[in-house]
Structure 1
Amino acid sequence: MRSISAVLALTLLSLVVAAPAGAAPPRDELRKDLRAVVAAGATSAIAEITGPSGTRRAAAGVAELGRPTPAPVGGRFRIGSVSKTFLATVVLQLAAERRLTLDDTVERWLPGIVPDGDGITLRQLLDHTSGLYNYTAALDLSPAGWLPQRYRSWDPAELVALATAKPPLFAPGTDWSYSNTNYVLLGMVVKAATGRHYSTEIQRRIIGPLGLRQTESPGERVRISGPHAHGYLPVGPAGAEKPVDVTSYNPSIADAAGDMISSTADLNRFFRALLGGRLLPPAQLDAMTTMRTVAPGSGYGLGLETTTLSCGITLYGHGGGIFGYATNTLHTRDAKRQLSISVTPYVGDPGAAFESLIDNAFC
């Protein structure tokens, strides 16, 4: 899923920084930057930076409100829409194997699922030019609307039906609009093409070969196993909100668009392998990293985002937000400099503090 309300400031498309190029910050400075993010409106923040001078990891805040245990530096967290890059990699691998083509239509693989699906290609799902309505916009995702059904199980066909009940936003290929519906459909296409669930393909093609021990697509399992920071939503009238722990819930509401769990180290390892050509042949990696400008200084390829900082550095990666958690993972094209960060936003706006952290890490 994409960022929700308080985490919108943490998406890649909103990053704006200004500074001359410099070295990555030492661990103490990274910890200071993370503390600033927490002070601005989060209960925890953890990050890993890799670069020519090595790897730095730090954390700030607490693992759980009301308890003194610090946020775990190597903790696991829900990554939201960063899941899209994993799924896009699988789809592009299938294209390289000639088990499908990006010019195949939705109707070819999922007959009758999408009205006029014969006019929408898999490429248009990957790069969000399908025009399909974003199903999450049809849901009441406010605390009052979502909390009573946080453990509900959602079938992907239900999610697609929410979207197709609304008219398309534009004719396929004529514009761009971010839609989680696209990636729910791609998850269904992977199953149609391989006979296996998208999570199985992500496991056997990416997670297993790369040894990503902290990464999984949990299906309908509601808990995060292993060390992790808790996520919260503010509930109540403005100025008198109370934190509600939303660490546990059924992630099938996000399905293939954003259900995965990972860690900062695993995300850096995945993107290092992806951008380094270990997961895709050159033709497919070139297609993934060919960007359409979607906002000044920001682009979207095939399951991959870019943002160009004002110091001239272009970063590749993806942002993601889901109930209780916000993630960003940012990398130079050669993956020699990387930052992955997880924040558990609560109240306030940590956007400016987050931008300062990016500034120190890359500029």
Structure 2
Amino acid sequence: MTIALSDHDKNTLRIAADSGAVPEAVSGQDRPELQKAIEEIVESGFIGVSLRVHDERGEWAGSAGARELGGTAKPPINGHVRIGSNTKTFTATLVLQLVAEGRLGLDAPAADHLPELGLDRRITVRMLLQHTSGVFNFTGEVYDDGTVVPGIPIPYGTTGKEWVDNRFRSYRPQELVELALSRPARFEPGTGWSYSNTNYVLARLLIEKVTGRTQAEEMQRLILGPLGLSGTVAPDTSPEIPAPHTHAYYRYEDTGERKTIDVTRQNPSWISTGGDMISTTRDLATFISALLGGRLLPAPLLAEMCTPHPTGIPNMDYGLGVFVVTTDCGGTVISHNGAAVGHAALMYGTPDGGKTLTAALGCVDDADLSIAAAFRKAQQRLLNEVFCGRRADPAQPTG
């Protein structure tokens, strides 16, 4: 359906878009199935959801729910969100750009550039990006027999109070890596697959060692600047998040009492480049489209990035900083999603970057990951709606 807008309406939209608050009626009126999907996702337990889709029908963006608990204002359509492990895709892209520049070797030992850490020399740069290094995850490991080996205080798997009390603490990347390397490796390098945030903090240290600049500076030089991603931030230790944004909450037990607090402000250095970045649905869509469309990497390196390595997760293999997902309708999408204590972000694209789905979600998080099932269903619902043209079958695995 074609929408005719007056000059006044266009100006109103421009001002609203700049503030992140696109009027709901205009942004969503010709894609009711997408608006309905995000409204139902909110009903499943989320505070607010913002969705952006680019496909053969053009671009659509909408939101549902609220910006904060008890509020009535809608989430900003292009608000800022802590993107969690989507950070890994940005970091992997940056490493591969340095490979393209000849500053790193993909199959060279990471220890060549970080000799002070005492890394196993069998661990290559590729293994870090692919999660096949075997290095202990500094946020803790859960082994196949159910054994849990904790790492630093994190918001999941405990009462949560220790993380709450330390949520403004600053961690140095080296501190996180040193803790991880003080623990036994999960497996011999290259002999298995296990998702480890440590791999991507090591990738950050590699970037900074070979360039002599911070990861944030290199990110600006090679990705954010060239793509004009003005809404994307690598915050390092800053607890701030730019406005506008949906609020993030955390529920925890304290001396037998259940408390819910606003954790929108938090120091993300506890996860570092495992998941510290902030972005918007627009910037994520621009990034994944440009990446898969060949604007950031030479074709051979992009092919390496998207080559699937088995993970043991149904319908989800891993490349270099991206998941390679098989949809319910038999297609392939390239993805990374992330959660960051009360915030979450989705990022999907077809292998050519021509169709994209990005989303920002706000919720009440807790140590038991109570929102996890609803999050998986939300992912599958949107994935099927956008890439398969149908609703998710509740009986299907959510992956």
The TM-score with structure 2 as length reference comes to 0.81
Residue 354 and residue 26 in structure 1: after superposition, are their counterparts in 2 closer, same or farther (change >3 A)? farther
Give 1:67's aligned residue.
71
Give me the whole-angstrom Cα distance separating, in 1, the residues matched to 2:215 and 2:98: 12
Give me the whole-angstrom Cα distance separating, in 1, the residues matched to 2:91 and 2:153: 26
Q: Deviations over 1:85-126 (max 9, x none)?
A: 11111111111111110122121111131442x121111001
Give 1:245's aligned residue.
262
Give 1:322's aligned residue.
340
- 8 A Cα contact 2:110 2:119, kept in partner: no
Residue 30 and residue 173 in structure 1: after superposition, are their counterparts in 2 closer, same or farther (change >3 A)? same
- The equivalences for 1:308-347 within 5 A come to 308-346=326-364
- 8 A Cα contact 1:219 1:251, kept in partner: yes
**Unpaired runs of at least 5, structure 1:** 1-24
Task: Give the letter for the 1:283 counterpart.
Answer: P
SS at match of 2:47: strand
Residue 315 and residue 64 in structure 1: after superposition, are their counterparts in 2 closer, same or farther (change >3 A)? same
Task: Give the letter for the 2:96 counterpart.
Answer: L
Task: Give the letter for the 1:62 counterpart.
Answer: A
Give 2:81's aligned residue.
77
Give me the whole-angstrom Cα distance separating, in 2, the residues matched to 1:292 and 1:152: 36
Give 1:355's aligned residue.
380
Give 1:226's aligned residue.
243
SS at match of 1:41: coil
Give me the whole-angstrom Cα distance separating, in 2, the residues matched to 1:354 and 1:345: 14
Stretches of 4+ aligned residues off by more than 4 angstroms: none
Task: Give the letter for the 1:358 counterpart.
Answer: L
Residue in structure 2 matching 1:108, options 109, 112, 115: 112
- 8 A Cα contact 1:190 1:198, kept in partner: yes
Give 2:395's aligned residue.
none
Residue 91 and residue 115 in structure 1: after superposition, are their counterparts in 2 closer, same or farther (change >3 A)? closer
- 1:139 partnered with 2:143: no
Give 1:190's aligned residue.
207
Give 1:41's aligned residue.
45
Across the two proteins, how many residue pairs are aligned to each other? Answer: 337
Percent identity, aligned pairs only, is: 41
- 8 A Cα contact 1:153 1:252, kept in partner: yes
Residue in structure 1 matching 2:310, options 293, 313, 321: 293
Shift of 1:39: 1.1
- 8 A Cα contact 2:346 2:379, kept in partner: no
- 8 A Cα contact 1:233 1:243, kept in partner: yes
Give 1:272's aligned residue.
289
Give me the whole-angstrom Cα distance separating, in 2, the residues matched to 1:354 and 1:120: 33
- 8 A Cα contact 2:80 2:280, kept in partner: yes
Question: Which protein has the larger Cα radius of gyration, Structure 1 or Structure 2?
Answer: 2
Give me the whole-angstrom Cα distance separating, in 2, the residues matched to 1:32 and 1:140: 38
SS at match of 1:193: helix
SS at match of 1:103: coil
